[in-house]
Structure 1
């Protein structure tokens, strides 16, 4: 869905800040300059600035002007902030933080999913798994179904706060899955591990489900660390996910 003028202006300013086009601590361009640069009214700029203050990216006031805050002040659980960072480029530090978050959150969520998942939840995760399996065997969009699988697990925990975590984890999950797709037989090798997680959830076995997801997470972390160590370029999340070729 296309964003309105406010949403587009907020995205442009947010991406400019996250990509460091506006340096930390230095004054941002004055309101008239931003209006001219983006072709919008003062009202639109002011609303965008208010949103950026709420997200912790900037501070504004009569004595300090409008200045960019250090990134430790940013709201890293805000989906917009995560999206802007993903578009600006996934740094090793950003990925490390997200990997730590995933290792802390997803095993606990899967334990709860094994206790609380409804029949509808299982059906949704099964459908995601079927999409992954089809992509491995016949080609297609593996990454989107992989995301659907893991988001389904988080929702199945039936915890509203954990469900919100999926928005923060989205960038890491997609990066991880895209790295796996470019590894020879990566998706085919991870498919049985996904099945093991799902089977443990269906069996209502929290301990087995937790161990199965930890195997998946640690394997994904090793893949990312390998790419970072080789200095190969990380995926750009502004592009559509890559598609698998059909198995020969």
Structure 2
């Protein structure tokens, strides 16, 4: 079972989080300049070097732009790198919006079916073995309690790697935080993990059977089921997860779940 250790950030990491969250929350509106370095240094109790490094990181993530006579200004959110895990975490901390979750589900519907079709054609024995291990971890977490989300993430990232397309493999890394958002919301439903486990098995069995059409249908069923879970959680007004903390473990179920 995976063990989560607390992430201890340095001064740069903490400053990056403070400024990033402030931008995503709208404290510094798009098109306007963030406070000058001396003011940020005084407000945050940090050096100019730390501020400059944090600004460089935020520029790289698409949240800020700098230039002569321009200063350091906030970019509109369509310029932000939504594949960056930090950006996704900052959004989750201030609140996951319906628009954000809709975009996520649409992205999954575009990327995962195509990737799974390729996986059904190209997956090696090692690929399938790794996905089987992830599935077994999900099943054990449901039956015995424990970390379900980490295994769920490994299952889907394993499928993306199994397509053996270098760009999709890179995307599997970038999609990690986005996928975790969806999985945590689905898992927050009491029956969410147990009801989705057979859907995961159907995807894996189709890949093992080398049936791209069947694999595509199975992953679409799984994605649409996750969308329904998300809609129900949103309708219930239940508190949504914050990705800055480890996923909560499942409690053990009494009945055993068959394959």
Shift of 1:143: 1.4
Match of residue 79 from structure 1 = 85
Deviates more, 1:230-239 or 1:101-110: 230-239
Task: Name the structure 2 match of 1:243.
Answer: 249
Question: 1:124 — aligned with what?
Answer: 130
The change in CA–CA distance for 1:37 and 1:20 in structure 2 (over 3 A counts) is same
Q: Secondary structure at the match of 1:28?
A: coil
1:195 aligns with 2:212: no
Going from structure 1 to structure 2, the CA distance change for 1:97 and 1:168 (only over 3 Å counts) comes to farther
CA change 1:132–1:140 in 2 (3 A) is same
- After superposition, the Cα gap between the structure-2 partners of 1:93 and 1:40, relative to the gap in structure 1 and judged at 3 Å, is same
Q: Find the counterpart in structure 1 of residue 257 from structure 2.
A: none
CA gap 1:233/1:2 in 2 versus in 1, 3 angstroms: closer
Q: What is the aligned residue count?
A: 248
> Could you tell me which residue of structure 1 aligns to residue 3 of structure 2?
none
Q: 8 Å contact 1:86–1:171 — kept in the other structure?
A: no
Match of 1:46 in 2: 52
What RMSD over aligned residues (CA atoms) do the two structures have, in Å? 1.9
* Preserved contact between residue 83 and residue 178 of structure 2 (Cα < 8 Å): no
Measure the CA separation in 2 of the matches of 1:50 and 1:186. 40
SS in 2 for 1:59: strand
Query: If the length of structure 2 is used for normalisation, what is the TM-score?
Result: 0.87
What's the CA shift for 1:53? 1.9
After superposition, give the CA deviation of every residue in 1:23-47 in whole Å (9 maximum; x if it has no partner). 2222211111222333332222222
Partner residue of 1:94 out of 96, 100, 107: 100
Tell me how far 1:168 sits from its aligned partner: 4.2
Partner of 1:185: 191
Q: Which residue of structure 2 lines up, in the alignment, with residue 134 of structure 1? A: 140
Equivalent-residue separation in structure 2 for 1:177 and 1:9 (angstroms): 28
**What residue number does 2:231 align with?**
225
**Structure 2 equivalent of residue 109 of structure 1:** 115
Q: Which moved more, 1:236-245 or 1:194-203?
A: 236-245
Task: Report the TM-score, using the length of structure 1 for normalisation.
Answer: 0.91
Counterpart Cα distance in 1 of 2:244 and 2:12: 20
Partner-residue secondary structure (3-state), 2:175: helix
Residues 112 and 157 in structure 1, CA contact (< 8 A), matched pair in contact too: yes
